[in-house]
């Protein structure tokens, strides 16, 4: 008998059928996250008012980190943010598979981070892979980070890049698909 809850199954990359009974917990959580995102996105832009709402969305959010609205995060419980993280406006996270963003990361506007995909034979089955963004990485405006990718420490992802593979530490990548540009001195 499987003792994992739905969130553990998603984070572990297990095949999850969206029609299964336990997926109802995931839908309820997504609805809660949508409501919190709506509150954040319709609140006057004041960090003192918005930050407590962001802390409801992402538990354990450090007070030195900030996500500028508007934003859309579907699975806040599957996200971990480190200290001194700055995320510019219009972030979209499909976070079912888990997103870890370490200390000092900077993310530009209109970035999308995706952890979910669907089975090619049965589209009702989710197959998730987590995304990990390591310390001091910088993600440029409009970048798309796809499932299973790790962005290495101090790496830079150029604006508009589509990242389909891991990015080595201390490197710059860009393009679609993202390719190595150069090492950072």
Q: Would you name the residues annotated as active-site residues?
A: 118
CA nearest neighbour of 132 among 160, 156, 159, 97 = 97
- Beginning with the edge strand found earlier in the chain, give each strand of the sheet holding 71-73 in spatial order: 71-73, 91-94, 112-114, 144-145, 162-163
Show Cβ contacts of residue 11 under 8 Å, excluding neighbours closer than 6 positions. 78, 97, 98, 128, 130
Between 23-41 and 47-57, two packed helices, what is the crossing angle to 10 degrees?
Answer: 180
Alpha-carbon span 138 to 141, nearest angstrom: 10
DSSP 126: E
Length of the chain: 185
Phi-psi map region of 142: left, alpha, beta (phi>0 left; psi -120 to 50 alpha):
left
Alpha-carbon span 24 to 47, nearest angstrom: 33
């Amino acid at each position: 008998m499987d003792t994992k809850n739905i969130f553990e199954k998603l984070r572990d990359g297990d095949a999850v059928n969206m029609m299964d009974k336990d997926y109802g917990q995931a839908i309820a959580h997504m609805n809660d996250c949508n409501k919190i995102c709506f509150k954040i996105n319709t609140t006057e832009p004041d960090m003192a008012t918005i930050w407590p709402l962001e802390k409801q969305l992402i538990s354990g959010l450090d007070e030195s980190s900030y996500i500028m609205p508007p934003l859309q995060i579907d699975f806040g419980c599957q996200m971990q943010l480190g200290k001194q993280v700055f995320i510019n406006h219009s972030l979209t996270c499909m976070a079912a598979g888990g997103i870890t963003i370490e200390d000092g990361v900077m993310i530009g506007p209109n970035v999308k981070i995706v952890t979910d995909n669907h089975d090619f034979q049965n589209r009702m089955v989710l197959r998730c892979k987590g995304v990990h963004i390591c310390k001091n990485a910088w993600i440029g405006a409009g970048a798309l980070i796809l499932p299973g990718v790790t962005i290495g420490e101090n790496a830079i992802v150029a604006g508009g890049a589509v990242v389909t593979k891991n990015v080595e530490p201390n490197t710059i990548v860009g393009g679609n698909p993202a390719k190595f540009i150069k090492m950072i001195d």
